[in-house]
Structure 1
Amino acid sequence: MEGAFVLTWKEVLIGAMVILGVYIAELLLLMYSSRGQGGGLWRRGTQARELMELKRELAELRERLNRLEQASSRAPEETPATPYTKAFHLAKQGLDVAEVAASCGISRAEAELIVAMQRGGHL
């Protein structure tokens, strides 16, 4: 076997290390070049845009919450306080018919009806 090609384990190990070294060098070069061409900047730019969008949405939500809080604080003042609305609130608090009629300026019959409705009673 004069023309036979024989590899020893040392030669195979050295060849594998060279191949692995070339692969690692290519990988590092690829990572470095993508960062140099704006790959890292692109990600940072995307994150910055997403952050700006989240800040804008947060500002909109705060503004909306403020409008809702203002509307809810105005709501009780804007509802007309009729004698009957007041009578329902007083009946709900447990006042009797005479007290409801006297406080709201309504007739005793109206006060009886409201108190009975509020307490779930039958006429």
Structure 2
Amino acid sequence: MVSNSAIYITWPQLLYVGILVLSFYIAELIFFWLRHGRKQNSSIDANALQAQIDDIRQELASSKVKIAALAAQLQDTHSIDKAAMSLDQWSSQTGSIDDPVLSVNTPYAMAIRLAQKGADAPELAVTCGISRGEADLIVAIYRTSSDRG
């Protein structure tokens, strides 16, 4: 017995297989195109988040400057009170002349004092060890406040 087990493919069947393969590649192309579009959207979201982080950093630097200004004002107020009292009265109330609350000497307080004396931003940044942006902010705040008064 002779068995004829060969597979015969007709032209229409070959066309269907070709269309099926082509459809698969088109679907894959669409999938990758959509995926790439989502990556661009996520990069836009990342840029928005980075902008928010930068805003928060600027607010934090501004808050540091304000806290240092308040500390400097507190130190000035206490030094005026200290000068008004006699040394004995001061020692009896505080127990020590070198009270750590009164010896606030943060880099920002020092930068504020230097800015009030007319130092420029690069000098503040180097002398006090603060960033250039913070030094620019301190100089801008204290030049405007000294121009008003």
For the aligned pair, the TM-score class normalised by the smaller chain equals 0.3 to 0.5
Q: Which has the larger radius of gyration?
A: 1
The TM-score, its normalising length taken from structure 2, stands at 0.41
